[in-house]
Structure 1
Amino acid sequence: MSYVLFPGRHHLLTRFQADYLRQLAVDGVTVVWAVTSANHENTKRNPVPYHRREAAIERLSALSGLRSLVVPIFDTAPTDAFADVTLKSIAVATGIELTPDNTLLACSTPKVADLYRRLGFPVALVESDPGLRTTPERPWDVLLRLANGDETWRKLAHPATVDVFERYRLVDTIRTVVNDPVVGDEGGLTATRDYRTYAEAFADAAGRKWKAVKQYVQPGRIVDIGCGAGSLLELADREPALRESDLIGVEVARHLFQECVHKKAQGVFRNANVYFYQRNVLGGAIFADRSVDTTLTFALTHEIWSYGRQRESLLKFARRIFEHTAPGGVWINSDVCGPADRRRQVVLTLATDDGVTPAEPRSDLDSLTSDAVKAYLSGLSTRAKLEQFAKDFAFGCDFEVVGDGAVRIELGAAMDFLTRKDYVDNWLSETKEQFCGLSFAEWTELLVEAGFELDATSAPSRNNWIIENRIAPVASLSEVSGGSLDWPDTHLLTVARRPRNG
């Protein structure tokens, strides 16, 4: 036996692991650390970047006298061929062919161990070894001790991990990421979003959005929070007046952040001072107080409202931006908003002849493939879509049937449905978000409460293209008393400034 293959995420190394491996790797045997999810970081499942994990493994090896090879294994979709993929990745990276004849697998995860057993590899079960007198704590459980503020993690973790975590200030980072109330396990707001279509839609609209706000952008330190795939910063990068500015993108979704990093590596940006961070702003301050001249947020604040604690989270976010804004600096926000009188009862009449109308909405959409969900929704009549929306919408959509295709409903709920009914590609994500949580007047109150002064150019608006092409052909609004009702505001642009003496 020449090798011990030790696959795992290896975010935290334990004293037990070091002792166990020393017993296996005798007489010059090499431990091959296959570090899985190596391309993931700053997520609940993978809070530590690969290069820090590698540093701790190398330090443990030096302290324990182990001969080690560390190989990154990029994340893949779930597959029964995972063992084969790992072995091939190791062969490509090192030139070493690990086989059942020359390698012992060390792994405590039964499903993973079984994949290697099928290939003929002998297995040592590490923490699950039946020959142990006591059951040792697994590395992830020790990391959760750290995340929960339990300092006993230091006694269970190997000194190599403790050293790397302390030198690179990872303890607070891990606690913030693992305990994040908004971001999911894989570094996104929702597991059901198709980030490819999301990024494409944002890129298509970036030129229009930049044209609308660039006159308000102040040179200096410019931060785009929720930067998506960096489309807006690409346009800022081309502005001669901003050539001396720092352009900083902050994105919480791992898929989009990785695209930003890829663009920078490919030379898309001419400005050398372009930086990207994968962070959730609600999780803690990113920038020093009074250090940012311009903050940009596009189609972001409704997500903070929806996935957080509504107004409480949004006010916290606004205050955090106020804190990092330099005196005289500006926060430019473009997003959806609710009607001025969103609680008002109205009659919404919807088409019934543009699709099928099942007897009742489905309750199993989350068990279907995205293509199946799209196909089902695309075949519904607009009236039937309202029934399905009311079933799936996380914020409630109560209505009373008052006629053929007509319902009595709050204006805000009506607009939440009408502005979302065509999002069949991301229905399960979109129905978790509320567009009409705040009216423009309520937004104004929140910004003033956070300390900002609102520029006179701030205003609500209506997306007439959406009204004319998506909504009006299949829907109409009227007063409960019977009079016709015009379509309300759907969006807002706020230019909020921190007072120069504030």
Structure 2
Amino acid sequence: MPRYLLFPGRHHLLTRFQAGYLQRLATPGDGAVTDADDLVTVVWAVTSANHENTRRNPVPYHRREAAIERFSVLTGLRSVVVPVFDTTPTDRFAEVTVKTVAAATGLELTPADTVVACSTPEVAAMYEGLGFAIAGVEAEVEPTPARPWDVLLRLAADDPSWRDLAHPATVDLYARYRLDDLVRSVVNDPVVGDEGGLTATRDYRTYAEAFAGAAQRKWDTVREHVRPGRIVDIGCGAGAVLELADREPALRESDLIGVEVARHLHEECVHKKAQGFFVNPNVFFYRRNVLGGAVFAPRSVDTTMTFALTHEIWSYGEQMASLRRFVQAIYDHTVPGGVWINSDVCGPDGRDRTVHLRLATTDGVDPGRPRTDLAAAGSAEAAAYVAGLSTRARLDQFAVDHRFAVDHRPVADGVVELTLGAAMDFLTRKDYTDNWLSETQEQFCGLEYADWKGLLTDVGFEVDPVSTAVRNDWIVTNRLAPVATLTTPVGDPVDWPVTHVLLVARRPLNT
């Protein structure tokens, strides 16, 4: 009999099969236990312990730990639970896990006193390479029983058989903390990826830095429209705007709530709060996707702020269908008389009309044809390659990499024919080379100002007259005019159109 049974895994759900298997493995052959020292200690190495609310890791570590402890009591197993933080893929995973156990508990697990319980062949091979004996759990039984993740997917699919397969410790904990609803919401999320972001290619460091740099300008734009009370910033990034709201004396009695779907940014928000960035004690951060279901109770929020968010909902969701669900969710949680303030990019008026776009051809290289392998090449290589292209060649590359159609037809040297919306989608994105593979997944010009007003009033909002579509002249002066000109097909100049929108929408008092 070994002294320890190392059981690595994410352990989001525990099964009845695991209970019987571990009991047989951890009990002496004659079943007699005369002393506590005769018990085999099951060391649960809970991997991805720092991840939660992602498709791969929906349940937070502290809930997983609680289920394991209750499972141990109900099965009579002696257990030690150790969190193992996520790491980049490495062939030293087994070694890292064993060292983490030693650092957390002082237990020096060795092949002489430890058996590893693992049903994943690739992971089991790493422990075998260190000399450990392997117990295959589900992998050594025929027919193969349902693995924990298979049972969790049954739950997500509303298959009631998951309750028969899951251990009562999991069923009980899921019921008490409504984790079954959480799992369904996260696993079935149509927008958020496996690792908890909208896209796997985004550089969140530069993304957060850009938002922090623009936070003061954003806050100055919306401050006068903010209604005290319960103030929510959806898509709050790393919390930069809420930091400024926190400094407002007039809002010191308000609740400041940040909602962020991207795991990396939410973690930074929580870190800031722990480090004392906020004076107001009523600052809270939720990791949620509003499209996955209601985050706030009906008529419970006084002010909702969104910055550079709605174009992402349009782009990563189902365009207007997803955006309408989002607007409806905000309307539903807004108190009568409350306000939604939305600042984002905006398509030009008449975005479907045909224009001619002349682009610089000498400000970079022209390889003759765009590459079709940039997505596979990776973010760093893509950024370096696109940064070296001429503006004209960059349009061809954009048309290949962009998720949305960028139909363009060459009509002269450096001149193409396309719609005004497609032209502005390219021109407002062409300089984001650092996040090229991410930015080309988004559409900036899906809606023009009239579309926005129609959508808001259709849902029930009143659009405040202060709402407006504007042109960012800095972008025109520094990014567009030096390398591009717009004309009609017959050669008449076309003024640079609007690029951004500020919407102040109120829920009527009598609703």
TM-score, structure 2 as length reference: 0.97
Once the two structures are overlaid, the 10-residue window that deviates more, 256-265 or 368-377, is 368-377
Partner of 2:228: 219
Q: 2:300 aligns with which of 276, 291, 294?
A: 291
Offset of residue 81 of structure 1: 1.0
Q: 2:213 aligns with which of 199, 204, 210?
A: 204
Which amino acid in structure 2 is aligned with residue 185 of structure 1? D
Q: 2:245 aligns with which of 219, 236, 248?
A: 236
Within the alignment, does 1:362 sit opposite 2:362 as a pair?
no
Alignment of 1:74-473 (within 5 A): 74-129=85-140, 132-473=141-482
Offset of residue 390 of structure 1: 0.5
For structure 2, which runs of at least 5 residues remain unmatched after alignment?
A: 28-37
Residue 177 of structure 1 aligns to a residue whose secondary structure is helix
Q: Extract structure 1 runs of 4+ deviating beyond 2 A.
A: none
Which amino acid in structure 1 is aligned with residue 174 of structure 2? F
Offset of residue 134 of structure 1: 2.2
Offset of residue 24 of structure 1: 1.4
Residue 327 of structure 1 aligns to a residue whose secondary structure is strand
Offset of residue 455 of structure 1: 0.5
Partner of 1:4: 5
Which amino acid in structure 1 is aligned with residue 462 of structure 2? E
Offset of residue 492 of structure 1: 0.3
Partner of 1:45: 56
The separation in 2 between residues aligned to 1:445 and 1:466, in whole angstroms, is: 27
Residue 80 of structure 2 aligns to a residue whose secondary structure is strand
Residue 335 of structure 1 aligns to a residue whose secondary structure is strand
The separation in 2 between residues aligned to 1:50 and 1:371, in whole angstroms, is: 33
Which amino acid in structure 2 is aligned with residue 468 of structure 1? T
Alpha-carbon displacement from aligned partner over 1:392-434 (angstroms, at most 9, x marks no partner): 1111100111101000110000000000001111111111100
Residue 284 of structure 2 aligns to a residue whose secondary structure is strand
Percentage identity across paired residues of the two chains: 70
Which amino acid in structure 2 is aligned with residue 184 of structure 1? G
The separation in 1 between residues aligned to 2:184 and 2:231, in whole angstroms, is: 28
The separation in 2 between residues aligned to 1:53 and 1:319, in whole angstroms, is: 34
The separation in 2 between residues aligned to 1:439 and 1:457, in whole angstroms, is: 17
The separation in 1 between residues aligned to 2:100 and 2:477, in whole angstroms, is: 53
The separation in 1 between residues aligned to 2:388 and 2:288, in whole angstroms, is: 39
Alpha-carbon displacement from aligned partner over 1:57-80 (angstroms, at most 9, x marks no partner): 001100101000000001111111
The separation in 1 between residues aligned to 2:292 and 2:162, in whole angstroms, is: 22
Residue 69 of structure 1 aligns to a residue whose secondary structure is strand
The separation in 1 between residues aligned to 2:104 and 2:256, in whole angstroms, is: 35
Offset of residue 84 of structure 1: 1.2
Within the alignment, does 1:496 sit opposite 2:505 as a pair?
yes
Alpha-carbon displacement from aligned partner over 1:316-351 (angstroms, at most 9, x marks no partner): 111110010001000000000100110010000000
The separation in 2 between residues aligned to 1:52 and 1:312, in whole angstroms, is: 34
Offset of residue 30 of structure 1: 0.2
Offset of residue 369 of structure 1: 3.1
Partner of 1:476: 485
The separation in 1 between residues aligned to 2:41 and 2:214, in whole angstroms, is: 53
Offset of residue 23 of structure 1: 1.4
Residue 71 of structure 1 aligns to a residue whose secondary structure is strand
The separation in 2 between residues aligned to 1:162 and 1:400, in whole angstroms, is: 59
The separation in 1 between residues aligned to 2:159 and 2:328, in whole angstroms, is: 30
Alpha-carbon displacement from aligned partner over 1:235-274 (angstroms, at most 9, x marks no partner): 0000000000000000000000010010111111000000
Which amino acid in structure 2 is aligned with residue 346 of structure 1? V
Partner of 1:63: 74
Instruction: Give the number of aligned pairs.
Output: 500
The separation in 1 between residues aligned to 2:378 and 2:164, in whole angstroms, is: 45
Offset of residue 133 of structure 1: 3.8
Which amino acid in structure 2 is aligned with residue 88 of structure 1? K
Offset of residue 359 of structure 1: 1.7
The separation in 1 between residues aligned to 2:357 and 2:142, in whole angstroms, is: 69
The separation in 1 between residues aligned to 2:279 and 2:112, in whole angstroms, is: 52
Alpha-carbon displacement from aligned partner over 1:425-465 (angstroms, at most 9, x marks no partner): 11111111000000011100000011000001000001111
The separation in 2 between residues aligned to 1:365 and 1:100, in whole angstroms, is: 45
The separation in 1 between residues aligned to 2:108 and 2:123, in whole angstroms, is: 19
The separation in 2 between residues aligned to 1:16 and 1:70, in whole angstroms, is: 19
Report the CA distance shift for 1:392/1:133 in structure 2 as closer, same or farther (over 3 A): closer
The separation in 2 between residues aligned to 1:173 and 1:77, in whole angstroms, is: 26
Which amino acid in structure 2 is aligned with residue 470 of structure 1? R
Offset of residue 485 of structure 1: 1.1
Alpha-carbon displacement from aligned partner over 1:151-192 (angstroms, at most 9, x marks no partner): 000000000000100011111111111101111111111111
The separation in 2 between residues aligned to 1:462 and 1:30, in whole angstroms, is: 66
Alpha-carbon displacement from aligned partner over 1:65-123 (angstroms, at most 9, x marks no partner): 10000000011111111111111111110011111111100000011101111111110
The separation in 1 between residues aligned to 2:180 and 2:129, in whole angstroms, is: 39
Partner of 2:32: none
Residue 6 of structure 1 aligns to a residue whose secondary structure is strand
Alpha-carbon displacement from aligned partner over 1:447-499 (angstroms, at most 9, x marks no partner): 00110000010000011111111111111101111111110000000000000
The separation in 1 between residues aligned to 2:436 and 2:417, in whole angstroms, is: 24
The separation in 2 between residues aligned to 1:12 and 1:434, in whole angstroms, is: 38
